[in-house]
Amino acid sequence: MAIDDAWGLIVFSVLLAAAQVIAGGDGAGWDALAHGARELGGAVVLGALVGVPAAYLTGRLRPGEPTQAEALGVVLLAGGIAIWLELSFLLTAMIVGAIVANLAKHHERPFREIEHIEWPFMVLFFILAGASLHVERLAAIGWIGAVYIALRAAGLVLGAYVGGRAGGAEARVRRWMGLAIMPQAGVALGMALVAGNAFPDLRDTVLPLVIGSTVVFELAGPALTRLAILRAGEARGTGGGAA
């Protein structure tokens, strides 16, 4: 899922820049494309510049784990600089987290302390996202939402099958993996907010579309994930599962 989110952010940044090129005409459009490339590449560089020192410095105050203060400090530092430089703060944060998790060998659970206080921020994030949902707009974009949900589901099932086949996964795993990753939440909402800010005229269409589909996938996702785990034989005590 982390790899999926990373690639999603990269492709999103490229397509957002391409959309700005199409919407802005020749001159302004290519400026938007250059800005998109700078935003994407700059986020990777900034994530590395913050993440590498953080990986070796965190966890030194107390053996075993970093404190909540330094973990939050790294997150806020990376996000603040990214916003100040007009870079992708979503991708910057993901690069920082990946680097710290893989390079911080001096403690076993880097940034685990931040998990104890993440839920208030998650609740606030979803409340603010929900506050952007105008219910009356759902009827106007009903068919677009249905197509979006169908295409996303088909893409996940097909992509998981093709990726599983390329990676040598068992047939029963690649057949059901797509259903197991149907839930959709934070990253999609974050990208929707960024897209809404980039195209204010489409904000009232993009946000209801993504938020509404998120509700659908979050309600149906757990049941589909359970079904996939059982059918793939990954549940404890199920044996080989159904083929």
**Same domain for 6 and 110?**
yes
**Same domain for 44 and 111?**
yes
pLDDT of residue 113: 64
pLDDT at 178 over 80: yes
**Same domain for 94 and 137?**
no
Tokens 């979503």 appear where?
A: 90
Give counts: helices (H), strands (E), the chain: 9, 0
pLDDT of residue 140: 67
**Same domain for 108 and 14?**
yes
pLDDT of residue 243: 43
> What tokens appear for 122 in the block?
């998650």
Q: Among 67, 82, 116, give the residue marking a domain's end.
A: 116
**Same domain for 138 and 93?**
no
Provide the pLDDT confidence category of residue 46 given band limits of 50, 70 and 90: very high
**Same domain for 64 and 12?**
yes
Predicted TM-score of the model (pTM): 0.64
**Same domain for 58 and 151?**
no
**Same domain for 108 and 136?**
no
pLDDT of residue 242: 45
pLDDT at 231 over 80: yes
Residues sharing a CB contact under 8 Å with residue 209, sequence separation 6 or more, in sequence order: 141, 144, 145, 148, 192
Q: Among 74, 91, 116, give the residue marking a domain's end.
A: 116
Tell me the pLDDT tens digit for each residue of 119-156: 777 777 777 766 766 666 666 677 888 888 899 889 88
**Same domain for 110 and 215?**
no
> Mean pLDDT in the chain?
78
- Read off the pLDDT of each residue in 27-43 and give the average, rounded to a whole number: 71
- CB-CB contact of 89 with 82 (8 Å): yes
Number of domains in the chain: 2
Domain annotation covers residue 90: yes
Residues spanned by the domain of 214: 132-235
**Same domain for 182 and 91?**
no
Residue 107 Ramachandran class (φ > 0 left, ψ -120 to 50 alpha, else beta): beta
Q: Among 54, 82, 116, give the residue marking a domain's end.
A: 116
